[in-house]
């Protein structure tokens, strides 16, 4: 029996290694750039909106194409598309490292996001296929912990490489990892397919165009003027396209994001909370990492280390949050976590000055980190329990995509507030812009907590019976598995 189980254990181990490394790479690149931004700006030039796009170009293409990437894998082969996405991500990482200017860096980051959007949701699908049902909980836990480690270590890895080697190495780091994983995936992972649902090309185009128009308008507004023709066109056209996306999701037979899922109060509440939480969190980290270096004078490594009480806290507190959510339910734990994170951001907005000590900042960082940890642990269960089992794949993909959209919008919105009230001209000017941006971030996360309170309590936390699942048609895919909500 032990000999018979040995090949299966080996397959599980290889699947964990391959999908874990790929997930680590994709999650790491969400925040690894933040502590390198001052060095990138010094070497390549560029204004605030250019720095925004070095982060947002990745998160935006990643978010928009995430569910589409899962559908491509279902249709054309999950292992095949996983390797293709990994190849695109690895090649774009090399292009980013070799970028001669800020525009080429932004373009490479956008292509990185495309590769990650294809690769990331398929990591969980391939892992699920390799692991028997009885062991999937443990496997998902390991996979999620690796992704959490990537988020926690992103600012520190980016800062250390930038200070001791070069900012280019935050991208070169992906190349040997990608080259090593691609042949392993070909040899060690089994191919699998979904049920062949048609790809939602109209939905993808509507979502992509709408999000791009809105983010473009928010990023360019401070520099071009909010009444300029390009900014207004981007905002209005983006809004119209997103409205079209909502109507398409309500009427199409196989939409990328079925709007019927939002009839569930639990699903709507946790997704609204997720989008708003990431909006406030990503925008705050984007500005605070620059504040620690440009105003307080910390090195990139020191800035990354000083962010760890916030970004690294989920690794310590998440197990406790999981126990609490089992005892009292996920809703109060998530809501308490979001209120704590809002309080932490509000505290930081109150204490930031041109010469504040780290000891004064530390309580705000710790409170925000504990709050983020309390949110992350029960959020996945709330998403999964809000829909029926056959809807869980698309539900988890939708939640992951909305979080990435929140991150992209957070950077755009809070950087716009920063630019309107301050700038890079002096330390005081930076603080003048940072403080109102953090106040808005705190308010947005507090609003996320209110959204979490709308989730039904423990007795009503199951799938909402009013959410009908249409009968499966000849081409309908009910087998899609997208990315599980993790610390990405």
CATH number at residue 19: 1.20.1250.20
Residue 479 lies in a domain: no
CB 136 within 8 A of CB 19: no
Question: What would the DSSP string read from start to end of 137-204?
Answer: HHHHHHHHHHHHHHHHHHHHHHHHHHHHT-TTHHHHTHHHHHHHHHHHHHHHS-------PPP-HHHH
* Integer Cα distance of 273 and 448 in angstroms: 4
Instruction: Let me know whether 161 and 231 are in one domain.
Output: no
Instruction: Let me know whether 241 and 317 are in one domain.
Output: no
| Residue 63, burial from CB neighbour count under 10 angstroms (0-12, 13-18, 19+) | buried
Instruction: Let me know whether 294 and 387 are in one domain.
Output: yes
Residue 49 lies in a domain: yes
Instruction: Let me know whether 298 and 432 are in one domain.
Output: yes
Which of 229, 253, 277 is the last residue before a domain boundary? 253
Instruction: Let me know whether 285 and 245 are in one domain.
Output: no
Report the pLDDT value the prediction gives residue 438, as an integer from 0 to 100.
Answer: 95
CB 25 within 8 A of CB 172: no
403-457 residue pLDDT tens: 777 877 887 788 889 888 888 888 999 999 999 999 999 999 999 999 999 888 7
- As for how many domains the chain has, the answer is 2
Instruction: Let me know whether 258 and 248 are in one domain.
Output: no
* Integer Cα distance of 141 and 137 in angstroms: 6
Residue 481 lies in a domain: no
Residue 488 lies in a domain: no
Instruction: Let me know whether 12 and 137 are in one domain.
Output: yes
State the Rg of the chain over Cα.
21
Instruction: Let me know whether 147 and 238 are in one domain.
Output: no
Residue 13 lies in a domain: yes
Instruction: Let me know whether 439 and 357 are in one domain.
Output: yes
Which of 237, 253, 269 is the last residue before a domain boundary? 253
DSSP 261: G
* Integer Cα distance of 406 and 395 in angstroms: 16
Instruction: Let me know whether 233 and 137 are in one domain.
Output: no
Report the pLDDT value the prediction gives residue 8, as an integer from 0 to 100.
Answer: 62
Question: What would the DSSP string read from start to end of 333-379?
Answer: HHHHHHHHHHHHHHHHHHH--TT--HHHHHHHHHHHHHHHHHHHHHH
Token pair of 313 as six digits: 């806290």
CB 261 within 8 A of CB 398: yes
Instruction: Let me know whether 141 and 265 are in one domain.
Output: yes
3-state secondary structure of 32: coil
Which residue blocks in 32-135 are alpha helix, DSSP H?
A: 37-44, 48-76, 78-97, 102-130
324-371 residue pLDDT tens: 777 787 889 889 999 999 999 999 999 999 999 999 999 999 998 888
Could you list the residue range(s) of the whole structural domain that residue 215 is in?
Answer: 201-253
Report the pLDDT value the prediction gives residue 412, as an integer from 0 to 100.
Answer: 78
Model confidence, pTM: 0.74
Instruction: Let me know whether 289 and 409 are in one domain.
Output: yes
Residue 264 lies in a domain: yes
Which of 236, 253, 270 is the last residue before a domain boundary? 253
Residue 267 lies in a domain: yes
Chain centroid to CA 334: 18
Residue 473 lies in a domain: no
Strands (E), 341-485: none
Report the pLDDT value the prediction gives residue 466, as an integer from 0 to 100.
Answer: 41
Token pair of 153 as six digits: 């270590």
What's the start-to-end Cα distance of the chain, in Å?
39
**Regions in the chain scoring below 70 on pLDDT:** 1-9, 48, 133-134, 136-141, 144-145, 147-149, 151-152, 194-197, 314-315, 318-319, 322, 377, 380-381, 384, 389-394, 396-397, 458-488
Q: Which residue has the tokens 């403080």?
A: 435
């Amino acid at each position: 029996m032990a000999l018979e189980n040995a090949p299966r254990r080996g397959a599980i181990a290889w699947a964990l290694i391959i999908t874990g490394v790929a997930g680590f790479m994709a999650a790491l690149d969400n925040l690894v750039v933040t502590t390198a931004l001052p060095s990138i700006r010094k070497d390549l030039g560029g204004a605030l909106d250019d720095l925004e796009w070095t982060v947002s170009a990745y998160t935006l293409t990643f978010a928009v194409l995430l569910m589409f990437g899962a559908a491509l894998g279902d249709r054309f082969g999950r292992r095949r598309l996983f390797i293709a996405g990994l190849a695109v991500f690895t090649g774009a990482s090399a292009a980013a490292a070799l970028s001669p200017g800020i525009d080429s860096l932004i373009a490479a980051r956008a292509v990185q996001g495309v590769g990650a959007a294809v690769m990331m949701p398929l990591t969980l699908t391939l892992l699920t296929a390799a692991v028997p049902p009885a062991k999937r909980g443990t496997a998902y836990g390991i996979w999620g912990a690796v992704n959490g480690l990537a988020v926690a270590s992103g600012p520190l890895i980016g800062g250390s490489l930038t200070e001791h080697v070069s900012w280019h190495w935050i991208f070169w780091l992906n190349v040997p990892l990608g080259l090593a994983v691609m042949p392993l995936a070909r040899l060690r992972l089994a191919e699998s397919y979904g049920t062949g649902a048609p790809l939602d090309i109209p939905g993808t185009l509507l979502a992509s165009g709408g999000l791009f128009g809105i983010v473009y308008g928010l990023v360019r507004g401070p520099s071009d003027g909010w009444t300029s023709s390009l900014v207004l066109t981007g905002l209005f056209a983006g809004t119209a396209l997103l409205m079209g996306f909502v109507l398409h999701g309500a009427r199409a037979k196989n939409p990328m994001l079925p709007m019927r899922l939002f009839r569930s109060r639990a699903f709507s509440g946790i997704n609204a909370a997720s989008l708003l939480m990431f909006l406030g969190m990503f925008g705050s980290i984007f500005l605070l990492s620059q504040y620690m270096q440009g105003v307080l004078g910390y090195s990139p490594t020191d800035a990354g280390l000083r962010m760890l009480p916030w970004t690294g806290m989920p690794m310590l507190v998440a197990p406790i949050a999981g126990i609490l959510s089992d005892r009292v339910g996920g809703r109060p734990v998530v809501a308490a976590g979001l209120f704590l994170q809002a309080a932490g951001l509000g505290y930081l907005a109150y204490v930031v000055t041109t010469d504040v000590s780290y000891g004064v900042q530390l309580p705000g960082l710790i409170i925000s980190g504990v709050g983020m940890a309390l949110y992350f642990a029960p959020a996945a269960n709330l998403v999964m329990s809000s829909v029926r089992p056959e809807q869980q794949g698309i539900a988890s993909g939708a939640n992951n995509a909305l979080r990435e959209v929140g991150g992209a919008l957070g950077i755009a919105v809070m950087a716009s507030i920063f630019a309107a009230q301050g700038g890079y001209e002096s330390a005081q000017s930076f603080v003048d812009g940072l403080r109102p941006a953090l106040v808005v971030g705190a308010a947005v996360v507090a609003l996320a907590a209110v959204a979490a309170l709308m989730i039904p309590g423990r007795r009503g936390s199951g799938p909402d019976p009013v959410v009908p699942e249409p009968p499966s048609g000849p081409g309908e895919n009910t087998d899609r598995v997208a990315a599980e909500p993790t610390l990405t």
